[in-house]
Amino acid sequence: DYYPGNSANSFELMSSGKESDNDPAYPNILNIPLHKTTNKAESAALFRSKVEEVLLPQLRAFAPELIMISAGFDGHFEDIKGNNGLSHLVEDDYEWITEQLCQVAAETAGGRVVSVLEGGYHVERKAPAPTPARNTRRQSSAVPKSDAKKDSTTRPGALALSVAAHVKALEAAAN
């Protein structure tokens, strides 16, 4: 199937808790299901642990000569349509995984990385939380739609901030 979760078979795989489908016909395809999370901290911890414990060791063992990143941001907590509310990733998570992939590229591929930016599916700006203790980085994308229309200086949304974090990590790896 084209996208994980589009068929009953892939949904069964994701909901089964299996680390991969281990199809001998496709030994280099790795599916890493993530269960639904309820907040940003839980989502980041789960995501990062799966990357560190499953993805990175297998990627290093494969020793790619080139790493191609298909950088989609539908796991962002503001892309409810893209991830069906299952994930709560933020810009720092995208920057972190890009750094990890660039590190593997430095180790095995002479730093060769190709990144294709995909985007997100349906990112809507959310109203700010009613607490003064918000992370200011998140604050910039938390503009209610009604305020965004009134404000002549459009603030960057979650997708723009995620892309910027990804590009920042790519640039750091290149220098």
CA–CA dist 81, 31 (Å, integer): 21
Q: Who has greater pLDDT, 73 or 111?
A: 111
* pLDDT, average across residues 118-135: 56
Cα dihedral 167, 171, 174, 175, rounded to 10, equals -170
CA–CA dist 8, 13 (Å, integer): 9
Q: Can you say how many angstroms the Cα of residue 113 is from the centroid of all Cα atoms in its chain?
A: 17
Local structure of 153: helix, strand or coil: coil
* pLDDT, average across residues 20-29: 69
Strand stretches in the chain, DSSP E: 67-72, 113-119
pLDDT of residue 154: 62
pLDDT of residue 125: 56
* pLDDT, average across residues 130-135: 46
Within 29-119, where are the H helices? 40-50, 56-62, 80-83, 91-108
* pLDDT, average across residues 33-56: 91
Q: For the segment 141-159, what is each residue's pLDDT rounded down to a tens digit? A: 333 444 444 444 566 777 8
Distances in Å between the Cα of 154 and the Cα atoms of 74, 84, 110, 113, 123 are 22, 26, 39, 32, 15
pTM listed for this prediction: 0.71
